[in-house]
Amino acid sequence: MTLLAEIETRLGELPDGLEQQLGAGLAAARTRWPHGPEPDAGFAEFLVARFAPQPRVEDLYLAWWCSTGDPAAIAAFEARYQDDLRIVAARFRELAADELRQLLRIKLFVGTPESPPKIRDYSGRGSLQSWLRVTAVRSFVDVVRQTRSQRYEQELDEAELLGIADPQRSLIRSELAAVVKKSFADGVAHLSPRQRVFLRHAYVDRHTLDQIATHYAVHRATVARTLAAAREQLIAGTRAGIVAAIGISPDELSSVIRALDTNFELSLSRVLAVTEPR
């Protein structure tokens, strides 16, 4: 069965102009990657599942080829988009560019038991180049946040964080203390850069609202709102992290949040004293 027949079988009817678009797109793909495989029933299924009125056949071909796990396809993909990947990776200085690209390679083409290769998510409705840029940025943001969270977590002291003088005799289990520590660090990592900067000025540098406002040429009310929103977001994020990680009674959770609130300033001063790459 020909490729067009395969597509027609799946669509029921070929839209006007599809044969010409398909032919031109595949010809361009085969010219660019002459060592690539012949489009087969698998490609027809891939295209139909992502069918659009104006299908980006060349991009869909490359995405389909990569979805097979062929090393030659991955090499072709990275050769085509190496400049895009270099530009995006350069925006994230907390990890080496090679490490970021390797992490993205795994996410795109290997996947995990919980998440299939991301390349299969390409819909074909926009260019593969634009999709890759968005996917890379989101992936790198996740990596940087995770790295930042781990660094913050190392600075936190469980006993100080929860106001526990003797964790062994506390009603709060050590397991819970570790979860709170991680949840708090994750919460700080997910704050916006502006929120973290303002909090650092307030809790590490001990600047007043007026000093922060003058430095950034904003109204002191803006600084106050930013700090209040950051604090509220951080407490809410910590609470959500605890609930998601382990089962805990409302009374225990309330006591944890009260302890966290009491030691908020100390915990933040420890975490935000960590120097972040610019």
Interatomic CA distance for residues 218 and 102, integer angstroms: 41
Are 149 and 188 in contact by the 8 Å Cβ rule? The answer is: yes
For residues 274 and 202, give the distance between their C-alpha atoms in angstroms, rounded to a whole number: 15
Mean pLDDT by groups of 10 residues along the chain of 278 residues: 65 68 86 90 84 83 93 94 91 81 89 86 90 91 78 57 46 64 84 88 86 90 91 84 71 65 69 60
Q: Which two tokens stand for residue 83?
A: 């400049």
pLDDT at 234: 86
Q: Do residues 61 and 25 make contact, with C-beta atoms less than 8 angstroms apart? A: yes
pTM: 0.57
